[in-house]
């Protein structure tokens, strides 16, 4: 195991039950909860495939990050508060800084900083969220078409969304480069039975 993987061996990650309790404690709306459960399925499916391909990833961190990525969404509805930052602050306060970072990056990825790994948990969760429209796994094109309708009210917003879409497309290429899967394989998850964590 390389040094970067060893650094992450002792992470304190909330269990799926802890995540569900946090979702309830923060009043997560049922539709946001259902979206988060499906993002979890996509992220774990992809994360498992990446681990099998040799990437050093923590599936428990991916799972917790996916379940909690929209922890701040309900509280921030109708406000100008950034729900990713809100959720990250709540998780940092709860003693979950690693999960907080994944949540912080689920909309906009940040620099990997000192993490030398080619794929990080935050990237898997970020991509999984970009593939789930409400409670349906869709293509990146379909997801961003919906985002443009809902949030592309100004030229600045449309420009920001175009940048996000291009970043998501580049991330998709990196994530699938060493996998036998192709992006459309994730659509099969729409037909699989969903389970509570």
How confident is residue 197, by pLDDT bands cut at 50, 70 and 90? confident
Q: Quick count: other Cβ atoms within 10 Å of Cβ 86?
A: 20
Of 122, 123, 70, 129, the closest CA to residue 98 belongs to 122
pLDDT in the model for residue 193: 61
Name the strand (E) or helix (H) holding 29: none
Radius of gyration over every alpha carbon of the chain, rounded to an integer in angstroms:
16
Q: Tell me the C-alpha distance between 66 and 69, whole Å.
A: 5
Q: What are the residue boundaries of the structural domains of the chain, listed by start?
A: 14-108+117-190
Residue carrying structure tokens 């569900």: 20
**Quick one: fold of 14-108+117-190?**
Hypothetical protein af1432 (1.10.3210)
- Tell me the pLDDT tens digit for each residue of 23-69: 999 999 999 999 999 999 999 999 999 999 999 999 999 999 999 99
pLDDT in the model for residue 101: 96
Q: What share of residues in the chain are helix, strand, coil (percent, to 5)?
A: 60, 0, 35
pLDDT in the model for residue 195: 62
pTM of this structure? 0.92
pLDDT in the model for residue 196: 73
């Amino acid at each position: 195991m390389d040094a970067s993987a060893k650094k992450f061996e002792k992470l304190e990650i909330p269990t799926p039950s802890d995540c569900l309790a946090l979702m309830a404690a923060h009043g997560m709306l049922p539709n946001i909860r259902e979206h988060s459960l499906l993002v979890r399925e996509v992220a774990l499916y992809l994360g498992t495939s990446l681990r099998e391909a040799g990437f050093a990833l923590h599936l428990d961190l991916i799972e917790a990050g996916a379940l909690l990525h929209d922890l701040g969404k309900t509280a921030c509805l109708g406000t100008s508060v950034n729900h990713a930052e809100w959720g990250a602050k709540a998780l940092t306060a709860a003693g979950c800084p690693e999960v907080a970072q994944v949540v912080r990056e689920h909309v906009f990825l940040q620099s990997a900083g000192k993490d030398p790994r080619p794929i990080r948990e935050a990237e898997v969760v970020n991509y999984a969220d970009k593939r789930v429209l409400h409670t349906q796994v869709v293509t990146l094109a379909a997801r961003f078409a919906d985002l443009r309708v809902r949030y592309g009210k100004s030229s600045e917003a449309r420009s920001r969304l175009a940048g996000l879409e291009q970043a998501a497309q580049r991330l998709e290429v990196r994530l699938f480069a060493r996998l036998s899967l192709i992006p459309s394989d994730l659509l099969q998850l729409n037909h699989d039975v969903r389970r509570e964590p």
